Chains A and B, each alone.
Chain A
């Protein structure tokens, strides 16, 4: 049984042995020349390169990078502005908001 299976596998494996060479279709040269002439005159339809996966993926990556860049830029400015706000709040609470007043207060005490 096993021997039969192996023989069958070997038979299929050798199925291309002795194959005749496939012949190119008739008028191959005529059609080739026509295609070359069409390419020279620019008749061949332009390639739809914009839909090529490589271009699409590259564009998506670029958009994601730009978005991430803008997001992190905004995020940094938000952090720094909120940091400024909290400093001002603390300064107001401790009456330190106006440096001149503070200096005046210190001078008066002297």
Chain B
């Protein structure tokens, strides 16, 4: 299906076009989101929210980039929205516990095993995933899109609305920071 036709049909709220979009993008969205939120249930929730946002705001897509670029951008933004709300909930729960109201305990997330990682690499991938959570947001996005979605620097730069050299720099810094974290961890 031609991308322009697809966008037009989505704007017309065409059910078949929307199903086609979901069928073709659900794994890409889910894989990106799970790499960031590192939890299967949250990843499904956020992926659903991504498609709901696409369905509702397709009229605001101006076509300045590819549709896939726009979708990846929504996926990363939504994922970090969830992480931010988790963080503030945790902070709020801490304040509540100071005042003795701690009936809902928010636990730290359990170890994350990415479903696409080979068995022999699972333990290493778990350690890496934990270290990645300590990276700054933009380094984390660049690293996740490049490693998990296997996107080129150009594609990552389009998604992040930055230059290719900026993505190279982000990835370089991400690796340096991860090395430091891993040296401490191992």
Which chain A residues have a beta carbon within 8 Å of chain B's beta carbons? 5, 8-9, 11-13, 15-25, 28-29, 31-32, 35-36, 39, 51, 53-54, 56
The secondary structure that dominates the B interface is helix
Q: How many residues does chain B have at the interface if contact means C-beta atoms less than 8 Å apart?
A: 43
- 1/0 per residue, CB under 8 A from A, across B107-147: the answer is 00000001111100100110110010000000000000001
Q: How far is the CB of A17 from chain B (nearest CB, A)?
A: 7
Segment of B4-12, B87-95, B155-163 engaged in the interface with chain A:
B87-95
Knowing A21-B149, A35-B48 are in contact, say whether A13-B128 is a contact too (CB < 8 A). yes
Residue in A closest to B127 when the chains form the complex, CB atoms: A12
**For residue A29, which residues in chain B have a CB less than 8 angstroms away from its CB?**
19, 22-23, 26
Residue in A closest to B19 when the chains form the complex, CB atoms: A29
Q: Taking the complex as formed, is B28 at the interface, i.e. its CB lies under 8 A from any CB of chain A? A: yes
**For residue B91, which residues in chain A have a CB less than 8 angstroms away from its CB?**
53
9 contacts between A and B (CB under 8 A): A15-B121, A18-B118, A24-B44, A25-B44, A28-B30, A29-B19, A31-B44, A32-B22, A53-B91
Q: Taking the complex as formed, is B55 at the interface, i.e. its CB lies under 8 A from any CB of chain A? A: yes
B182–A15 touching, CB < 8 Å: no
B30–A23 touching, CB < 8 Å: yes
Knowing A22-B34, A35-B52 are in contact, say whether A12-B47 is a contact too (CB < 8 A). no
